């Protein structure tokens, strides 16, 4: 690069960083230092002390569908899930999830690093003299809840019939819970995320988010739980979103729990129960002081919908955290420290102490995501499900 051109590029990049109030230590130039194409492994250098050993991440069904739906007409596009996943990676320590785009010798990275940072390319596309793309690192604590701390609550609706059967029946049902449970998920995004978002935007955003959700659940055992995304639907109107006017703030809010009912009508008319283990409905509208809503142990049930509010920008802890939280309720989990709604035989009073709490449903710290008490609650929920719940209908096993 000619010296004068390099000087101009440096000035332009410095101006961008100053405008964004980014200190120089938060600017990095990622590069691949080792790649093994046969098994998809890569070594990604971010900066000294932050080097990731990456492996392929599985998150989409082999038979993936992207749809646009206006409430009357739906347009489907069928895609190869394995092809969509070619740029999604996770590190072997299960603390990072990234989308790595290698094009014309450059590397662009988006995602979450080491449970501490968010990374994405700088919009100006500034480059070093080695033609490396400038990226910004932000602490996850600085980009958490886009709706403020007042929406940190969620609402979970108790099932009507949660009483245990006889000990003999429950023991037999517990033995029927498989070692591995692949939960088939359909994601729906309402129009609040913007009309200009493309199919690639949705696939990249939710691919990163759900890869992180899977990292949380990778710590569960008996059964090991993993989510695969069967489809993403871009809703083009608010027909099935329960909207509430907020004249004081002059905005329109969403009733997340109300949407459980209104969206169920659409769901019931569109898919059979065998075609949806869990539904993730996402909006960027404010839910007031509520960030999500779901029922208890609704996976594979009549209304397996979880509703979540989040932005569609830079991914922090909030986006995967709120989806993982509501899906935990759908698997029968209460908040850490609360009395269990579901449990295995002899564990009806099992409550963990604060030092055992996980981070998804309580005040624990990553990478401790779920306490042993919540794992028992998930087993207590799943032992009430039929074999059909555990059968795959839209994708092949990932394990």
Looking at the structure, tell me whether residues 185 and 326 fall in a common domain: yes
* pLDDT single digits (tens) 322-342: 999 999 999 999 999 999 999
Contact 122, 135 (CB under 8 A): yes
- Asked if residue 396 belongs to a domain, the reply is no
Residue 133: inside a domain = yes
Whether 78 is covered by a domain: the verdict is no
Q: Rounded to whole angstroms, how far apart are CA atoms 291 and 364?
A: 19
> Which domain covers residue 109, as residue numbers?
27-56+87-139
Based on the fold, state whether residues 356 and 295 are members of the same structural domain: yes
Q: Looking at residue 281, which CATH number applies to its domain?
A: 3.40.390.10
Asked if 52 and 113 touch (Cβ cutoff 8 Å), the reply is: yes
Q: Where are the alpha helices (DSSP H) in the chain?
A: 3-19, 81-84, 167-175, 199-217, 256-270, 318-330, 372-382, 387-390
277 and 330 together in one domain? yes
**Per the structure block, which two tokens stand in for 133?**
């793309």
Cα–Cα distance for residue pair 308/287, rounded to 1 Å:
9
Domain final residue, candidates 124, 139, 154: 139
69, part of any domain: no
- Same domain? 304 vs 366: yes
Same domain, 322 and 190: yes
Q: What is the mean pLDDT of the chain?
A: 86
> Is 72 within a domain?
no
Residue 19 has pLDDT above 50, yes or no: no
Same domain? For 242 and 381 the reply is: yes
Residues 101 and 193 in one domain: no
- Cα–Cα dist 146/154, whole Å: 15
pTM over 0.85? The answer is yes
The answer to whether position 8 is within a domain reads no
Please tell me whether residues 122 and 254 are part of one structural domain: no
> Within this chain, do residues 303 and 356 fall inside the same structural domain, yes or no?
yes
Upper half-sphere CA count for residue 27 (Cβ side, 13 Å): 21
In a domain, 42, yes or no: yes
Active centre residues (catalytic): 326
Query: What is the percent of the chain with per-residue pLDDT over 90, rounded to a whole number?
Result: 67
In this structure, what DSSP letter does residue 170 have?
H
How many domains is the chain partitioned into structurally?
2
Q: pLDDT digit string (tens) for 162-197?
A: 444 455 556 668 888 999 999 999 999 999 998 899
178 lies in the same domain as 133 = no
- For the segment 103-160, what is each residue's pLDDT rounded down to a tens digit? 877 899 999 999 999 999 997 666 665 789 999 999 998 876 655 554 456 767 665 4
In a domain, 309, yes or no: yes
Q: Which of 199, 200, 229, 198 is nearest to 212 (CA)?
A: 229
Verify that 125 and 171 share a domain, yes or no: no
Q: What is the pLDDT of residues 233-262, one digit of tens each?
A: 999 999 999 999 988 888 899 999 999 999
Q: What is the DSSP letter of 179?
A: S
């Amino acid at each position: 690069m000619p010296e004068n051109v390099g000087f101009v590029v440096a000035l332009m990049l410095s101006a961008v960083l100053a405008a964004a109030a980014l200190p120089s230590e938060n600017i990095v130039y990622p590069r691949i230092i080792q790649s093994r194409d046969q098994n998809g492994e890569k070594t990604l250098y971010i900066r000294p002390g932050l080097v990731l050993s990456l492996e392929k991440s599985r998150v989409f069904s082999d038979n993936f569908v992207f749809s646009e739906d206006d409430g009357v007409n739906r347009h489907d596009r069928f895609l190869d899930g394995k092809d969509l996943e070619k740029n999604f990676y996770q590190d072997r320590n299960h603390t990072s999830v990234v989308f790595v785009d290698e094009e014309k010798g450059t590397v662009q990275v988006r995602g979450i690093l080491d449970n501490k940072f968010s990374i994405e390319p700088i919009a100006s596309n500034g480059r070093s003299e080695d033609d490396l793309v400038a990226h910004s690192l932000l602490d996850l604590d600085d980009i958490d809840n886009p709706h403020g701390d007042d929406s940190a609550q969620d609402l979970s609706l108790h099932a009507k019939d949660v009483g245990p059967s006889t000990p003999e029946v429950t023991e037999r049902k517990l033995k029927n819970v498989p070692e591995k449970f692949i939960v088939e998920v359909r994601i729906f995004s309402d129009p609040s995320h913007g009309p200009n978002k493309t199919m690639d935007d949705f696939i990249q955003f939710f691919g990163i988010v759900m890869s992180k959700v899977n990292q949380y659940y990778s710590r569960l055992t008996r059964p090991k739980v993993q989510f695969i995304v069967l489809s993403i639907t871009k809703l083009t109107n608010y027909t099935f979103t329960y909207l509430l006017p907020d004249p004081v703030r002059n905005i329109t809010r969403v009733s997340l729990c109300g949407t459980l009912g209104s969206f169920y009508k659409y769901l019931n008319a569109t898919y059979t129960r065998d075609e949806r283990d869990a539904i993730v409905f996402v909006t960027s509208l404010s839910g007031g002081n509520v960030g999500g809503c779901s029922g208890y142990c609704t996976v594979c049930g009549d209304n397996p919908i979880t509703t979540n509010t989040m932005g569609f920008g830079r991914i922090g802890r909030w986006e995967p955290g709120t989806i993982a939280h509501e899906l935990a309720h759908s698997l029968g989990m209460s908040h850490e420290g609360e009395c269990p709604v579901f449990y295995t035989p002899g564990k009806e009073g099992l409550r963990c102490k604060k030092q055992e709490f996980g981070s998804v449903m309580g005040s624990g710290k990553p990478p401790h995501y779920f306490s042993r008490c919540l794992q028992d609650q998930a087993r207590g929920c799943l032992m009430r499900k039929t074999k059909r719940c555990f059968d795959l209908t839209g994708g092949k096993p990932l394990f």
